Amino acid sequence: MEYAELANEVSKKSNIKVSKKDIERLVGALQKTGDPWVLADISDFPVPAVFETLNALKDRGLVSVSDSSVTLTENGLLAVESVHPVEDFSCGGCEGRGISLEHFVDIRDRFNEIQRSRPAASHDFDQGYVTPSSTFSRFLIGYERGDIEGRDILLLGDDDLLSIVLGLSRLPKSITVVEVDKRLVGFIEEVAGAEGLDVSVREFDLRKPLPPEHVGAYDTFYTDPPETLPAVDAFVGRGIASLRSPGSAGYFGFTRREASLEKWWGLQRLLLGYKVVITDIIHNFNEYINWGYERDTRAWRLAPVKVEPRVNWYRSALYRIEALPGFCGNAKDYGEENIYEDAESSTT
Ligand SMILES: [Fe+2]
């Protein structure tokens, strides 16, 4: 099969840049599973383009689609024989993050308990939250790098409840959350009150520039932006604006489920423009819990097979950045603009 030609066809139809390599990964994945969500996970390119590729393979008689799965046909099996197999060699002990979970175990256990009563993910704010071990690992890596203890920390949005883990650790100098969702503000405040945690929470829409008291005031920020370039510019750019000095650090998630490598390039250019350096990118660090509104998403509408996901399939990389002398952030006001959707989006 001519994968380059197929990549061109899918790129045109989906308006998403897809490479031969992307298609080869999907074809490799088809030899392992017929579950559309697992295929999207393993293929590691934007979901609308993954599903468009499945349609193109179906048109060529290489896959067949049933009510529950996508299967390679006999011709399909012959066509994919020469493709590099898709393997998962990630470490079971750390769930592939490279950070052992066997530290601060009391905090981990307490957090697991507390987060059980958390608010559900809200479609209105494009929310989806990560597994408790993903949140806990964000704390562990920050601690390991010296970005937690004695630091002033800003969380720009906190549907993953990292502020609670940080509060329970009692290690940061201060913990501040700006969050748009009133329910989350209420939940974090309630937990902070009950557990005696020093967490300051403020309702805030990140489409607006940070108020002056937050600019240049923090050693570390964490955020998890929606996956469009304007949104990542708003969230991460504000994070960078909040940093105090060279050596201050930021952490955020960025996926390939809703972002092509073209968009990754756009993100990395943006970061370099702010004069911060990327110190780490950890593949599939963040694992999202299926958010419960799948049937209302674009991904569901595009899915060739309408089955509920059985396993967590949406994962993102963790980026760590560090500020260099001369760094600057983003103070643009996006007003009421919808900065949360583009051709590669699928969970909105
Ligand atoms: Fe490991």
At residue 270 the predicted structure's pLDDT band, cuts being 50, 70 and 90, is very high
Q: How far is the CA of 51 from the centre of ligand 1 (A)?
A: 32
pLDDT over 80 (residue 1):
no
pLDDT digits (tens, 9 = 90+) for 61-71: 999 999 889 99
φ/ψ region of 302 (left if φ > 0, alpha if ψ in -120 to 50, else beta) reads alpha
pLDDT digits (tens, 9 = 90+) for 76-102: 999 888 888 888 899 988 999 999 999
Looking at the domain assignment, is residue 66 inside a domain?
Answer: yes
Q: How far is the CA of 100 from the centre of ligand 1 (A)?
A: 6
pLDDT over 80 (residue 29):
yes
> End-to-end distance of the chain based on CA atoms, in angstroms?
33
Looking at the domain assignment, is residue 123 inside a domain?
Answer: yes
Same domain, 202 and 163: yes
Same domain, 53 and 136: no
- What is the tally of structural domains in the chain? 2
Looking at the domain assignment, is residue 34 inside a domain?
Answer: yes
Q: How far is the CA of 97 from the centre of ligand 1 (A)?
A: 7
Same domain, 7 and 55: yes
The token pair that represents 200 in the structure block: 């300051």
Same domain, 159 and 247: yes
Looking at the domain assignment, is residue 37 inside a domain?
Answer: yes
Instruction: With beta carbons less than 8 A apart as the criterion, state whether 134 and 285 touch.
Output: yes
Same domain, 65 and 198: no
Same domain, 75 and 138: no
Helix (H) or strand (E) holding 222: strand 220-223
Which residues lie across from 65 on neighbouring strands? 70
Nearest to residue 201, comparing CAs of 163, 169, 152, 149?
Answer: 163
pLDDT at 141: 98
Contact partners, residue 70, CB within 8 Å, separation at least 6: 30, 34, 36, 39, 54, 63, 64, 304, 305
Same domain, 65 and 10: yes
Looking at the domain assignment, is residue 234 inside a domain?
Answer: yes
Same domain, 153 and 53: no
pLDDT digits (tens, 9 = 90+) for 203-215: 999 899 999 999 9
pLDDT at 239: 97
Q: What is the mean pLDDT of residues 12-16?
A: 94
Instruction: With beta carbons less than 8 A apart as the criterion, state whether 167 and 192 touch.
Output: yes
Q: How far is the CA of 47 from the centre of ligand 1 (A)?
A: 28
pLDDT digits (tens, 9 = 90+) for 100-158: 999 999 999 999 999 999 988 887 777 789 999 999 999 999 999 999 999 999 999 99
Same domain, 140 and 282: yes
pLDDT at 285: 97
Which residues lie across from 323 on neighbouring strands? 276
pLDDT over 80 (residue 292):
no
Domain range for 161: 105-323
Read off the CATH number of the domain in which 9 is found: 1.10.10.10
Same domain, 171 and 71: no
Q: How far is the CA of 252 from the centre of ligand 1 (A)?
A: 21
Average pLDDT, the chain: 93
Tell me the C-alpha distance between 157 and 185, whole Å.
10
Q: What is the mean pLDDT of residues 242-247?
A: 98
Looking at the domain assignment, is residue 348 inside a domain?
Answer: no
The token pair that represents 239 in the structure block: 């994070």
- What pairing do the DSSP bridges indicate for beta strands 249-255 and 220-223? parallel
φ/ψ region of 146 (left if φ > 0, alpha if ψ in -120 to 50, else beta) reads left
Looking at the domain assignment, is residue 124 inside a domain?
Answer: yes
Looking at the domain assignment, is residue 55 inside a domain?
Answer: yes
